Amino acid sequence: MTSLRLTALAVLLATGGVCAQLPDAKQVAQERAQAELDAPKLSTVLQIEPGMTIADVGAGFGSMTVTLAKWIAPGRVYATDIGDRQLTVIRDYITREGLDNVTVFKGGQASTNLPDACCDAIFMRHVYHHITAIEPFNRSLFAALKPGGRLAIIDFAPLKGSTVPEGVPANREGHGIPLAIVRAEIAAAGLVPLDTIDQWPPGDKAPTYFLVSFRKPQ
């Protein structure tokens, strides 16, 4: 497993509410570099433009939040996480970066806690497989999008030999989630499936994730 995959898994544990160490300078630099590579690709999928409002749900330690906040300025980013430690790190991060277009607040297992119809786009990176209250959470994703707004879920297939995280439905088949289940669950909440990218990020030497996107009906 590559060092980048190990870094990503550390963030997965953090966003899942598991106690994790704060990122060191090397990890922050790695995550920021990866975010700067991924942000343009994600922006294309979600049709993100400057001035829009987007949400980073399960923002971890904030690398994508910071990168996209600069990308879409003067637009706004909502950054949410269920971990108090992660929220503290994100707030410190945006202060150091001098950003005034990021709103940080605590999410929940059964709801994003985003305002209704606030977002042109929402994304979740390596987070969805940790959600335990599937139906109410997905209803909150639907509610938070503006009509025509887009959602991207970036996640990974179950890791071989792994166990399902506590409280997560057994149909995940391990630590991760089958792509077909993501499509079915999000579509059941009323969002229309759009693109599926089996290997994300495109162009990466060893892509280990998938991306599936959706749109809220007008």
CATH number at residue 74: 3.40.50.150
Please report whether residue 25 resides in a domain: no
- The answer to whether position 134 is within a domain reads yes
Range of the domain at 160: 3-16+31-215
How many beta carbons lie within 10 A of that of residue 32, not counting itself? 17
Three-state SS for 116-172 is: CCCEEEEEEECCHHHCCCHHHHHHHHHHHEEEEEEEEEEECCCCCCCCCCCCCCHHH
Give yes or no for a contact between 55 and 81, defined as CB atoms under 8 angstroms apart.
no
- What average pLDDT values come out for the chain (218 residues) when binned by 10 residues? 36 38 75 89 96 97 96 97 95 96 96 98 96 97 98 96 93 96 98 96 86 97
Domain assignment of residue 21, yes or no: no
**Count of structural domains, the chain:** 1
Residue 105 placed within a domain = yes
Q: Is there a domain that residue 92 lies in?
A: yes
pTM of the model: 0.88
Residue whose C-alpha is closest to residue 137's, from 149, 147, 127: 127
Amino acid at residue number 83: G
Instruction: In whole angstroms, give the CA distance from residue 212 to residue 170.
Output: 21
